[in-house]
Amino acid sequence: MENDLTIRKIIIISKVEESSIEVPLTKGLNIIIGKNKTGKSSIIKTIFHSLGCEIKFDEDWGKLNKRSIVSFSIGSSFFLVERTGNIYTLFASSDDLTLVSYIGTYTYSEFSTKFLELFDIHVTWITKNGDDKPVAPPYIFAFQYIDQDKGWHSIAKSFEKLSYVPNWERQIIKYIVGYQNEEYFRLRKELEKYRILIKEIESKINTLEEFVLNILERERQNTSLSPGTDALDDDFEKSKLILEQLTILEKERIATSNQISQLQNEEYEKKLVVEALNKYSEELVEDHIYASSLDELITCPFCGVVHLNELTEKSELIKDVQTASNILTSTATDLKELQRELTLYQKRFVEIESSYKKMKRELRLLEENTSVIKALKNEGKNDLINTSHLEIEGIKEMRNKYFGTREETQASLKKNESAIRRNKISKEIKVLMGILLERLELSGANVKLSNFLPVLKHTGSELPRVIYAYYISLYLYNLNRIDNPFKWLVIDTPNQQGQDDENLRNINKALELLMDVKGQVVVGTERLTGVEDTAANVFRLKEYKKCLTKDKYSSHVLLLRKLDQLKEESALLQVITDESKKLDH
């Protein structure tokens, strides 16, 4: 199946301002040129926003009460998606949009499923809460977008609300590079389910065994008189209820403890990063202060070489200080949010522990204040203990069965983990990345991948260029693979990342590698790149904060009315169908 994605057109309409914009895109390299605050990034973000990705817009942009339409193709089929608020409507269309037919209106989760079905993607995984979820567009497209802010400081962090699946980057990148298929994710999902089930079963076994031991122990110690039958029945019901609640709390305690451990590991790693960045920033500030105190020429006290120390060199140090500060602020914010989440989980764990201990005390008091154990010397006691033992054995048998199935699943999963294939893919990406780094004047940089993800040890103005090289390498690698939806890349504003003129020229040189019409690249930039004459498409924005105009507003409103009419007709047809079914019954 041919499933490569191409964005054909972006249409944004604001009835508040009675204006709109239409940005045509094509295969090959597309360049959107516009100075700061011309709406360039907001237009680019609209692509992903319309395709089901949560993204942070400029505050002024959010006030426009806008509707967006994105025209795209998958292979030889053409579609439109229109997003209003959190509702997505999908249409099939002709290439020129003259013919449009309604497919459906969806919530986010419904749209995610339907949209990925168009690509024949059926990847599912387990969330950190144990829920079975299909993969969503922001996870699939996280490696196709460098955001103007967060995207230049880390990998696959341009979208928001991607925390419900732990370590998702290390999972989904295996699919994106073609190392693992949907069967692999099915096996991983099954393996996670067995892990959760086995933990729950073991918790239940522990609770039942503790219950039987308590009965036998209390029987040995108890010397009080037997109560009446009604009191016994009442105490049994209370004991049963408390045991059920203890089982629920035990499961939640295990899940919360696991989450705390994971967050503490992430907190430790983040603190190490912040510490390293602090040290690096301090060194840069000291370098700047020292350079500012010297003349325009500096003679090295060791080798005698004379170095320039003019305003340009000092400005470069300031840029590096600003870049390091931006990265530090972003990382510190992430750390603070992570610590807030950790505190909530720790607080919840304390609450669970408190409730657990309280119920344990209630169970002990219930046993101590009654002579249930004495009465259990009759046949009822033996029946209860025997029933509990049988239930324990049955649960253990089920657990052992799960152990066996889990081992089989692990063996099947291991067969998919081919070291030879992994190394082959990594090598191909490294070779491409080496070519890119050379173009970016970073030929001495060490290319290291971990699970197909780059190990980012660079700081200052080098970091954005290394990230840039990785994204392009990944794009070029997928460009040569058959039948995959990852032959497109969106890059937003590389010239805002503390790059000097020479670095920017090198960055623009890399664009020469992105002309192939087998794929699609969209680049937003403030300045001319030097490849406009050879690019497939160039779109210019001119007015400050006024990318929406009156030029095509009327035709865009007509298109919206046409789409709304198709939705209304479909809704009416559904009502008639439902009423007809009622009459038949």
Instruction: Give the C-alpha separation, 558 to 22, whole Å.
Output: 14
Which tokens hold the place of 298?
């500096």
Closest among 30, 7, 10 to 559, alpha carbons compared: 10
What pLDDT is stored for residue 269 in this prediction? 75
> Would you say 208 and 395 are in contact if contact means Cβ atoms under 8 Å apart?
yes
Task: Give the CB-side neighbour count of residue 399, counting CA atoms within 13 A.
Answer: 16
Residue 497 CA from chain centroid, whole number: 23
Closest among 183, 202, 244, 204 to 402, alpha carbons compared: 202
Residue with tokens 């100075």: 35
Residue with tokens 């036998």: 216
Helices 168-176 and 182-221, interaxial angle, to 10°? 150
Q: Is 443 exposed, middle or buried (0-12, 13-18, 19+ CB in 10 A)?
A: exposed
Q: Is 391 exposed, middle or buried (0-12, 13-18, 19+ CB in 10 A)?
A: middle
Return all residues near 490 (Cβ < 8 A) that are at least 6 apart: 44, 47, 48, 144, 145, 146, 521, 522, 523
Question: What is the per-residue pLDDT across 342-387, written as a single tens digit (0 to 9) for each?
Answer: 888 888 888 888 888 888 777 777 666 554 444 444 455 566 666 7
Distances (CA, A) of 373 to 161, 227, 242: 53, 10, 17
Instruction: Give the C-alpha separation, 570 to 550, whole Å.
Output: 31
What pLDDT is stored for residue 535 in this prediction? 95
Strand partners, 102: 91
Instruction: Give the C-alpha separation, 408 to 414, whole Å.
Output: 10
Looking at residue 134, its amino acid is: P
First CA to last CA distance, the chain:
42
Return all residues near 214 (Cβ < 8 A) that are at least 6 apart: 363, 367
Question: What are the two backbone dihedrals, phi and then psi, of residue 93, each rounded to the nearest 5 degrees?
Answer: -150, 170
What pLDDT is stored for residue 246 in this prediction? 78
Instruction: Give the C-alpha separation, 505 to 507, whole Å.
Output: 5
Cβ-based neighbour number of residue 10 at 10 Å = 23
DSSP 84-124: ETTEEEEEEE-TTSSSEEEEEEE-HHHHHHHHHHHTT---E
Looking at residue 301, its amino acid is: P
Exposure string of 19-40, with b = 16+ CB inside 10 Å and e = fewer, is: bbbbbebebbbbbbbbeebbbb
Ramachandran class of 461: left when φ > 0, alpha when ψ lies in -120 to 50, beta otherwise:
alpha
Strand partners, 30: 522, 537
The torsion of the CA quartet 280, 283, 289, 295, rounded to 10 degrees, works out to -110
Distances (CA, A) of 406 to 134, 398, 399: 22, 12, 10
What pLDDT is stored for residue 23 in this prediction? 95
Task: Give the CB-side neighbour count of residue 27, counting CA atoms within 13 A.
Answer: 11
Instruction: Give the C-alpha separation, 496 to 44, whole Å.
Output: 16
Which tokens hold the place of 281?
């920033």
Identify the segments of the chain with pLDDT beneath 50.
Answer: 1, 223-228, 371-378
Looking at residue 354, its amino acid is: S
What pLDDT is stored for residue 223 in this prediction? 45
**What is the β-pairing status of strands 306-308 and 297-299?**
antiparallel
What pLDDT is stored for residue 376 in this prediction? 44
User: CA quadruple 146, 152, 155, 160: dihedral positive or negative?
Assistant: negative
Distances (CA, A) of 293 to 153, 296, 298, 313, 486: 31, 10, 11, 13, 51
Closest among 172, 372, 359 to 250, alpha carbons compared: 359
What pLDDT is stored for residue 377 in this prediction? 47
What pLDDT is stored for residue 471 in this prediction? 95
Instruction: Give the C-alpha separation, 510 to 69, whole Å.
Output: 31
Radius of gyration for the chain, computed over Cα atoms and rounded to the nearest angstrom: 31
Q: Is 519 exposed, middle or buried (0-12, 13-18, 19+ CB in 10 A)?
A: buried
